[in-house]
Each structure stands twice: as C-alpha cells, then as structure tokens.
Amino acid sequence: MIEAKAFSERISRARKKLAESGADMLFVTPSTNLFYLSGISFHRSERLTAVLLPKDGDPVLIVPAFEETRARSLTPISNVVTWEETEDAFRKAAGYLGASRGVLSVEPSTAYDDVEKLLAHASGWEARSGADLFAAMRMVKSPAELDAMRRAVATGVERFRKAFASLAPGVREEEVSARFGGENVVQFGPSAAVPHGAASARALSKNEAILIDAWDNPEGYYYDITRSTFYGTPTDEYRRVWDVVHAAQFAGIEAARPGVKCSTVDAAARAVIEKAGYGQYFTHRLGHGLGIDVHEPPYMVSGNDILLEEGMTFTSEPGIYMLGKFGVRIEDDVVVTATGAETLSPRPQKLEPIPF
C-alpha cells in the first residue's frame, strides 16, 4: 500500500511543477490523477468533489457534506471544505481561488462542463491543461509503486496458470474469460488475429492458437500481460511467427535504458519483425506506460522523443496478426533500471504448447 506521507510528497512536487508551468492553481476532480495526488478514489458524478492546490499554499479538498467522513479517511489533506445539496458547489469552490485572476491548471480528464461552472464565478481566470504536469510526475515510479505492480503481476501470473490448466476441447472463449478475473480478452484460432478482439461463444478446437490478454489493478496499480500459445501441435508457420515476436519483444526490452527515446525502443522491436518479412502484420505501437492507469505515458511509438528515465514502466507487446489464421502477441511489463531494463513479469523463454 502507498503510505500517507507519499501523498504529501506528491502534493509538494505538484506545487513545484505548478509554479514552473506558470500556473497559479491546480484543479483536480475524481480521476486516477486525483487518486495519485490525494489517495481519494471517488467516482466522478454531478456532485463536485475536487482538490484546489495553489502554487504557494496548502490544498483544499471540496466534497459534498455527506462524503466528508469517507474523504478524510482516504487522504492526508486536512483542509476539507464541505457543501450542502442546496448550495452552489462551484461558487463555493471559486471562493478558494484566492485572487481575481490567474491561470488554472486543470486535471486533463476533468469534464469541460465542470471547468465552465467554476470559471463562471471566476471570470478573470484562464484554464489550461495539466496533462504534462501529471505525466511528468507519474511516469517515474517510486519503489513502493513498483512493489505494488510486482504484487499485481503475481496475481496475474497465477490467473494465467489456472486459465491454461482449464482448457479443454469445447470450452468457450467467454467461459475462460468469465473465470479468469479482472479484465481480459480470450481468443481462440482465427479470432486471435484481431488485435483488440473480444471473448465470444467460440469453442476451442484441437490444434489451434490461443491468445489471452489480461489486465487488472488489485492494489490500484496494474499488471498487463498477454500470452500466446497453441493448443495441441503448432504448425511450422505458427512456431516461426511466435519466435519472431518473442525475439522482437526481447529487442525492445534490450534497447530500453535511461536516456533512450521511446521511439528507439519501438524501432528496435519493429526492425526484427520487418527483417523477418512480417512488418505489414505488426499494426500497432510496441507498448504503453503502465501504473495507476493501464494505458498512460510514456508510449513506445514512432515519433515519441520522450527520454526514458530510471523508474519508468511500460509494456513491450509486439504482435503479428495473420487474418484468417492466427495472431501472436507477447506482452510483459518492464521497468527501466539504472543500466537498462528488466521485466516485472516472468517473460516466457520458449513456446510451450498445451497438450490435450
């Protein structure tokens, strides 16, 4: 679990980055960014819950009066302002901006309507996106965050073990998916060639491909793992494609180290697949950042010049998708170390078909 002092440290860092960005106040509504900053994990609703953090002062937490007790139990923020159902919550929040004009940095997933309602009572304020502020803070994970991710991975690995052990002729994709736990996609045979497919009523047959992509955040931090294998005896073509994807994934991981561009990591993996003649079948980026969100910065994709830093986490998940035949994707979770990168999940070393 993330200790309370970590949230206090994050608030201090956010205040510093806020000043560096030229903004005067940070406005954060229910989101993974609110959870990251304060420990509060509320669903967004029509009732305003928000943190207002000034660049040179203490944060204010604004919540419906009936949520005060729950909110205080989740966060180290002590200045809690409540509002009643008969009050205009946005008018009350605007009173804590502290100046007649300024620049408001807005948590990027905040509803446009909420910003409008707030600024209707603070016409001298200008709103800007706070996306870069949160990305800069969240991309580098602390040791406690990495430990939470490792525990999440352990949960995922056990789920994969049970799922593969349960396979038998006639079992349906949707049955395996329902038993798996967390969010997942289970695909058999030709359906595995659809990169973002969905589990269906399709039944497993002997001698066909299997692809399972699974993700979950049991402690607030995600694992995201994909495994591709074969039920029965793989064809020579399937073995060849699996080996190419496996080599490409390793090339991407090997390319990752502090100071390397995200685009370079993507290119290293892509080059392996292109050299093998399957470039046209690798139709997506190599990977994405991972943490409180299953997809977050940084993204391993051509054109992304963000430089990797120690503590950044991402997925390496190359794929080859042969429509009408099968698809192969191998995905593991990676952390950048001081000298390179290591996988948080136990990377498969070879194709291990499942006998029937």
Fold of the 143-343 domain: Creatine Amidinohydrolase (3.90.230)
- State if pTM tops 0.85: yes
Q: Are 81 and 61 in contact (CB under 8 A)?
A: yes
Q: CATH says 4-138 is which class?
A: alpha beta
In whole angstroms, what separates CA 120 from the centre of its chain?
34
Give the contacts of 344 (CB within 8 A, at least 6 positions apart): 146, 149, 150, 153, 223, 313, 332, 333, 334, 335
Numbered ranges of CATH 3.40.350.10 in the chain:
4-138
Mind listing the pLDDT tens digit of every residue in the chain (356 residues)? Answer: 678 889 999 999 999 999 999 999 999 999 999 999 999 999 999 999 999 999 999 999 999 999 999 999 999 999 999 999 999 999 999 999 988 899 999 999 999 999 999 999 999 999 999 999 999 999 999 999 999 999 999 999 999 999 999 999 999 999 999 999 999 999 999 999 999 899 999 999 999 999 999 999 999 999 999 999 999 999 999 999 999 999 999 999 999 999 999 999 999 999 999 999 999 999 999 999 999 999 999 999 999 999 999 999 999 999 999 999 999 999 999 999 999 999 999 999 999 999 99
Numbered ranges of CATH 3.90.230.10 in the chain:
143-343
Cα–Cα nearest to 128, from 108, 153, 99, 150: 108
β-bridge mates for residue 231, sequence order = 208, 354
